[in-house]
Chain A
Amino acid sequence: MLQRKDLIDLNGLSEQEITAILDRAEEMKQRLRRGEKNGTELKGKSVITLFYENSTRTRVSFELATAYLGGTPVHISASSSSVQKGETLIDTGKTLDAMHVDAIVMRHPMSGAPVLLAKTVSAHVINGGDGMNAHPTQALLDMLSMREKFGRIRGLKVAILGDIKHSRVAKSNLFGLTTMGAEVYMYAPKTLIPKDMDKLGAHIASSREEAVEGADVVMGLRIQLERQQGGLFPSLGEYSKFYGVNENLLRLAKPDAIVEHPGPVNRGVELTDGLIDGKSSVIEDQVTSGVAVRMALLDMLCNAR
């Protein structure tokens, strides 16, 4: 089981812990497929989604996960600007704690904010994505979809292409996947790869072909328009031409390779339409995995023995 108060990052989780979460999530996913949404694991429990950044799938899936297990989800939308002024995160945390909430799921634009919150509150804190630090539930759901397809994670080659530098998803996947015994290859313009990423166990490929060749999983990451505006590459067109993933490139991967993307996708930039909608794509399955993983985590944290 998961003997932790909080889930902030996959860095530091053991293979056993990740496996336990994925096992439980698989059960939850089967329930979802059977249409069972009347669980009781979170009966009498309240789960706050405290989002300082916009999100659709992460927030909704946490709230549905809570509801499907009989808990009470409450959403607090805090605009990023309220971080700059007004109530501090610590004060907000203390207020929520005083309301006896059981868990707080937080998304925050600043790396490490959930660490600060977790130190402040007695409620369980689940990181719903913090700055460029971590997005553990995304990586868990990515891994759940991989494990379902291949029956294992150990030995898989996972190629991650896109904005690695600003991506908490890339990093949480790297930590989770290497802990589980997968090989992680990354490729992006040098301006979008953070320093010393190779020292964390990633293979930084020197071409997109090298990254994708023989891969079991090809994961695209969202290229945000603001990165181009920041001068990190000349144009979206140039990005997709030299760094994007298309059908030709995917042919270098294993025949049964899957294509993942955390969404929302910039169609035609990091992945072509053909890949997004093609038979290799598991992008929709990832969404279902997301609800299942969050059901599993909320259950395991809130009902730890």
Chain B
Amino acid sequence: MLIQNGNVVFLNEVKKADIRTEGRYVTQIADSLTPLAGEEVIDATSRYVFPGLIDMHVHLREPGFEGKEDIASGSAAAVKGGFTQICCMPNTNPVTDNAVVVSYIINRAKEVNLCKVRPIGAITAGENGEALAAIGKMKQAGAVALSDDGKPVMNSQIMRLAMEYASDFDLICLSHCEDKNLLNGGFVNEGRNSTITGLKGISRAVEDIMIAREICLAQALDLPVHICHVSTYSGVQMIRDAKKNGVKVTAESCPHYVALTDDIILSFDTNTKVNPPVREEKDRQAIIAGIADGTIDCIVTDHAPHKATDKNVEYAQAAFGISGLETSFALCYTYLAEPGVLTLPELARRMSYNPAKILHLEGGEIAEGKVADLMIADLSKEWTIDSASFVSKGKNTPFNGYTVRGAVECTIVDGKVKYSA
């Protein structure tokens, strides 16, 4: 395959170049390449060629909650969103805490044959926070990381043991930071807007206490830890300081923490309900600054699809989560790249290279000899988010009706076109 005339987003620059792929790999990159006889050609004139996006935090719901999403619909949403690899969280039913479920997900994804699906195994059996899950066997079956996402590992001793044991298998723990006791049933940011609405608030301290704990453990053990979906300004500060002190901590945040504040809850629209909650402007600004200076390494979607009936209830009863795969790139481009917070190579690092590095995945950059996972976008195209057009089963988004720029036109996985607008 030959991708011609595109603006190629390399690690440190954007340059016009032609890209040739053969089999699974990029084999040649040059200013100008001539099509071979019978070679498939994609004209990328005035388009941008990115490394395939990698989302290290999605919920595919299969097995167990196929009404919300399944591996087929989630993979379709991923490639539509420009993702070539996605890592799925273990809060399935049964919980992905053993090799059998890990293998099932991998095999099912191969049948679906759209993007690469990399399972994340549970840290503890049943995500109960009590005993370690079958970490070695899951790694052998293909798990790329460990997390009890959706639930914190409250017991610090268990978390310590998990980090130590996981490191023997070169796996990193992704921590959902939430102090369950301090949470006390909250479900929106605690502040002015929780007081106005009477919706039960979640203090920043609920998240920060556990971020602090993970930093303490990582420092004491000299082992890596990754902080999931950072939402607080204070969490960003702690991670920034820890990194300065040489602690092996990495972190992610999501487009909704970049684009939204908790003013959106005043509508009582349950599509705004997400955990951790979207917070205040100073948090939003801190997340943006953290993404800009690299304190926050990755942007993930925390894609959390739900059925309409899971959301169409009282706010307190509604499920947490945002269906994010199909809007992430455009939101990141609109809120981060276009305003100049991130250059395009920096954006590609947050959405592809860094997740690949943290999880030791292939991909993440466009270079000769690397896997041909690519995404082609039209950055000048303006479009309006319409949840009804999502291919994900989850239509739950607070961004419905938002006008954004940057449209994914083509997604190439292992040298094959898997999505074309």
Contact = CB atoms under 8 A, between A and B. Distances in A.
Given A133-B197, A171-B198, A111 B315 contact: yes
Given A110-B317, A195-B190, A195-B192, A90 B198 contact: no
Interface in A188-203: 194-197, 199-200
Interface residues of A, number: 26
B316 interface: yes
B312 interface: yes
A168 B198 contact: yes
Given A88-B313, A113-B314, A116-B314, A131 B198 contact: yes
A88 B312 contact: yes
B191 interface: yes
B194 interface: yes
B313 A132 contact: no
B357 to A, nearest CB: 39
A195 B195 contact: yes
B196 interface: yes
B315 A112 contact: yes
B201 interface: yes
A108 B195 CA distance: 18
Interface in A72-102: 83-84, 88-90
22 contacts: A84-B317, A88-B309, A88-B312, A88-B313, A89-B313, A89-B314, A90-B312, A108-B314, A111-B316, A112-B199, A116-B315, A130-B198, A131-B198, A131-B199, A132-B198, A132-B199, A133-B197, A195-B201, A195-B203, A196-B192, A196-B195, A197-B195
The 9 closest A-B pairs by CB, nearest first: A132-B198, A133-B198, A112-B268, A111-B198, A196-B192, A110-B314, A194-B195, A110-B316, A115-B268
Interface in B169-228: 190-192, 194-201, 203
A11 to B, nearest CB: 7
B314 A83 contact: yes
Given A88-B313, A89-B313, A111 B197 contact: yes
A287 interface: no
Interface of A: 11, 83-84, 88-90, 108, 110-113, 115-116, 130-134, 168, 171, 194-197, 199-200
Candidate in B190, B192, B309 with the most chain A CB atoms within 10 angstroms: B192
A108 B312 CA distance: 16
B198 A134 contact: yes
Interface in B265-289: 267-268
A195 B194 contact: yes
A254 to B, nearest CB: 29
Given A112-B197, A171-B198, 17 more contacts: A11-B196, A83-B317, A84-B317, A88-B313, A89-B313, A90-B312, A108-B314, A113-B314, A113-B315, A115-B267, A132-B200, A133-B199, A194-B194, A195-B191, A195-B192, A199-B192, A200-B196
Nearest to B189: A195
Interface in B346-370: none
A116 B316 CA distance: 12
Contacts of A110: 314-317
A200 B198 CA distance: 13
Interface in B317-352: 317
A24 B201 CA distance: 37
A134 B197 CA distance: 8
A42 to B, nearest CB: 29
A88 B314 CA distance: 9
Interface in B300-316: 309, 312-316
A45 B191 CA distance: 41
Contacts of B267: 115
Nearest to B201: A195
A112 B270 CA distance: 10
Nearest to A131: B198
B358 to A, nearest CB: 35
